[in-house]
Amino acid sequence: MAFYVDIRRCIGCRSCEVACERVHGGRGHVQVHFVGDSASVPLFCHHCEEASCATACSFGALFKEGERTAFDVEKCTGCGLCSLACPFGVVWTDKIAHKCDLCDGRPEPTCVATCPADALSTDFDLLARRARSRAARAAAQGGRR
Amino acid sequence: MIRVDPSLCIGCLSCSNVCPSQNILRTETVEERRIRWKRCREECDLCVELCPARALTLVPIDESAPEPEVSFPLVGCRICGRRYAPEPMLRRVEAALPKSQSPEWVWDCPACRRRAEAERTTGEMVAARRRRRG
Ligand code: SF4
Ligand code: SF4
Ligand code: SF4
Ligand code: SF4
């Protein structure tokens, strides 16, 4: 399972950030970024197919497990190589790595369950449907989006 | 005690993180990272085992040997200039990643990578809003 962001819906409230921190002992794995004064976007691990973080880790603490890039805290030495390898800057280290575990053991990713604007979803089709209806609406209004 | 091969050490601080007796000291300024191995007397080789660069060995204690110390200047980010990592760590990561990915991002600090990603993902949307506002 992965999850997806509909950036048009993100209102920059940082609820996902706080929710992730709450369930991970104060160290969250999402960071909401603001671009200019009109856009916000939550940044988190993409669970890359070819995960650079896992390639860089010498101890197998990061590894692919199905779609997920999983993390085994017992194996981590906090060397920080994963943080330097991730192209998106979304794995942090301070004596230990902190990375999205897709809320392993919970029924749903906490950030997805929390987002009040419905910007996050585990359902790619839902987002695709929304994008199509937006496009249809725009076409009906004379091509303006 | 611990012997260090400074030509192998990449300055990652694994050893210092895993040492249960705080025998491996680190100091970091904005410019450099410094690591010092105290004369360790423990029956333990965790740091030796968990050094990703295999830079450490366990040797008999020698009171006259100075405590080993290494220091690394931190490399400045290509974008913002902030110093963020020892060069050997960056070189190791760059070498580990597939060439096909041309991993130049290694030379940008993680904060600038996030900023770039935020701009990339919102770019189209922001441009559309601007057009709409005319
Ligand atoms: S931490 Fe970075 S490299 Fe690793 S899977 Fe997530 S996005 Fe990809
Ligand atoms: S910090 Fe931990 S997870 Fe990251 S590369 Fe080092 S050992 Fe692996
Ligand atoms: S899925 Fe869970 S761990 Fe991953 S970013 Fe969301 S709340 Fe954090
Ligand atoms: S773990 Fe090895 S490479 Fe990393 S700082 Fe210690 S001696 Fe150097």
Express each pLDDT in B3-29 by its tens digit: 999 999 999 999 999 999 999 999 999
* Of the partner residues B13, B97, B121, the one whose CB lies closest to the CB of residue A7: B121
- Residue A32's contacts (CB-CB under 8 Å, 6 or more residues apart) are A10, A12, A14, A16, A17, A40, A41, A42, A43
Tens-place pLDDT, residues B91-122: 999 999 999 989 999 999 999 999 999 999 88
pLDDT of residue A142: 65
A71 and A3 share one domain: no
A40 and A105 share one domain: yes
> Would you list the domain boundaries of chain B?
2-133
pLDDT of residue A145: 46
Q: Is the pLDDT of residue B130 over 90?
A: no
A112 and A129 share one domain: yes
Higher confidence at residue A130 or residue A42?
Answer: A42
Chain A nearest CA to B17, separation (Å):
6
Q: Which chain B residues are Cβ-neighbours of A38 within 8 angstroms? A: 126, 129
Question: What share of chain B in percent tops pLDDT 70?
Answer: 99
Q: In angstroms, rounded to a whole number, what is the distance separating the alpha carbons of residues B28 and B34?
A: 6
Q: In angstroms, rounded to a whole number, what is the distance separating the alpha carbons of residues A32 and B1?
A: 46
Question: What share of chain B in percent tops pLDDT 90?
Answer: 81
The residue of chain B nearest to residue A89, with distances taken between CA atoms, is B110
* Of the partner residues A77, A81, A83, the one whose CB lies closest to the CB of residue B18: A77
Whether this model's ipTM surpasses 0.95 comes out as: no
pLDDT of residue A58: 96
Residue A17 phi, psi dihedral angles, 5° rounding: -55, -50
A133 exposure class (CB count in 10 Å sphere: 0-12, 13-18, 19+): exposed
Q: Is the pLDDT of residue B133 over 90?
A: no
E strand or H helix at B58: strand B56-58
End-of-domain residue from the set A80, A97, A114: A97
How close is the Cα of B116 to the center of ligand 4, in Å? Answer: 31
A91 and A109 share one domain: no
Question: What share of chain A in percent tops pLDDT 70?
Answer: 94
Q: pTM to 2 decimals?
A: 0.90
The beta strand positions in chain A, using DSSP E, are: 4-5, 31-35, 39-43, 62-65, 68-71, 92-93, 97-98, 120-121
A142 and A126 share one domain: yes
Domain count, chain A: 2
Q: Which domain holds residue A84?
A: 47-97
End-of-domain residue from the set A75, A97, A119: A97
Report the pLDDT averaged over residues B49-76. Answer: 95
Terminal C-alpha separation, chain A? 31
Q: Which chain B residues are Cβ-neighbours of A34 within 8 angstroms? A: 118
CATH number at residue A58: 3.30.70.20
Report the pLDDT averaged over residues A92-111. Answer: 93
**Most B-contacting residue of A84, A86, A88, A98 (CB-CB within 10 A), to test interface:** A84
Q: Is the pLDDT of residue B85 over 60?
A: yes
Cα–Cα distance list, A123 to A76, A108, A126, B15 (Å): 31, 12, 5, 42
A38 and A57 share one domain: no
